[in-house]
Amino acid sequence: MTDLMPPTKNKWWKHPDVKKTFIFWLIFTPAIGIFGTQFHVLSMPDPASEVMGGVIGLMRLFTWAASPVAALVFAICATAITSPRHYGDNPPADADHQISNSPRANALWIVISAVMCLFALVVGLIVLQKDGDALHEAGAINVNVTGQQWAWNYDYANGARSEVLYLPVDVPVIFHITSKDVKHSFWVVEMGIKMDANPGYTTEAAVTPNKIGVFNVRCAELCGLLHAYMQNKVHVVSKADYEKWLADRSALEARS
């Protein structure tokens, strides 16, 4: 049986460990926010669509929103590592904490968590629904996307088929996505489009590329032995170049 001193009646926020944790939290919150957002800028590609621009902004916003929570965890860890420890019997009086249920603290925690989840959900949906706008565009082009272990192929309305995706700039495109075998995920990295490709079903995603260039398509669903090689290119070109490419590919495909 340890010989404890009577617990002190100090307010919890006056406890030295709490003060230390708070100081750590004040330092860590902006540090994580700044480092996190800068890290995202470095690791995320230049956007090739309005949707991707929104996704990058969203990541920055969420990183800042999450940084106080992450900072609190790190601050508690830092306090635990840097505080003195007592070994053996007769611990100091302040080691004996009275733990009691606090309905107010529980309610506060639940409300904060719920508000943060709702914030992430609503803001995320507002940004991501933009890629659905093109689904209703009358002038949109349609491309059938087929995933198969471990390659993508694309079918166009005029009969052209290709292993490389060609799109005209500033024209909405609707992807009709399916799989021949297992579940894949069609991810046009720089355009912020990622949609599951399911065998037996056709899913749809839409985007309007707004930059000419060569970008990347990857499978974002672990799909087997050569999943890492299930990648190809998307060429965003002018309308005239796109029409020429489409006619050439259609003629090549029509050859028997």
Provide, rounded to whole angstroms, the least separation between the CB of residue 253 and another protein: 8
- For residues 40-69, which are near another protein according to CB under 8 A? none
Provide, rounded to whole angstroms, the least separation between the CB of residue 38 and another protein: 23
Residue in 175, 184, 163 with CA at minimum distance from that of residue 235: 163
- Residue span 67-86 as binding mask against another protein, x where in contact by CB under 8 A, dash where not: --------------xx----
Residue keyed to tokens 């599951």 = 196
Strands 184-188 and 213-219 come out as antiparallel
Which helix (H) or strand (E) segment holds residue 233: the answer is: strand 231-237
* Residue 229 neighbours by CB under 8 Å, 6+ apart: 150
Report the Cα 201 to chain-centroid distance in Å: 25
- For residues 126-165, which are near another protein according to CB under 8 A? 146, 148-151, 153, 155, 161, 163-164
Cα–Cα distance measured from residue 59 to residue 36, given in angstroms and rounded to the nearest whole number = 9
- Using CB under 8 A as the binding rule, whether residue 225 contacts another protein is answered as yes
C-beta closer to another protein: residue 62 or 245: 245
Q: Which of 222, 226, 247, 251 binds another protein (CB under 8 A)?
A: 226
Please give the DSSP secondary-structure letter assigned to residue 8: P
> Is the CB of residue 173 less than 8 Å from the CB of residue 202?
no
- Residue span 195-214 as binding mask against another protein, x where in contact by CB under 8 A, dash where not: ----x---------------
C-beta closer to another protein: residue 130 or 218: 218
Provide, rounded to whole angstroms, the least separation between the CB of residue 25 and another protein: 19
Cα–Cα distance measured from residue 166 to residue 150, given in angstroms and rounded to the nearest whole number = 20
List of residues contacting another protein (CB under 8 A): 81-82, 146, 148-151, 153, 155, 161, 163-164, 180-182, 199, 216-218, 224-226, 228-229, 231-233, 252-253, 255-256
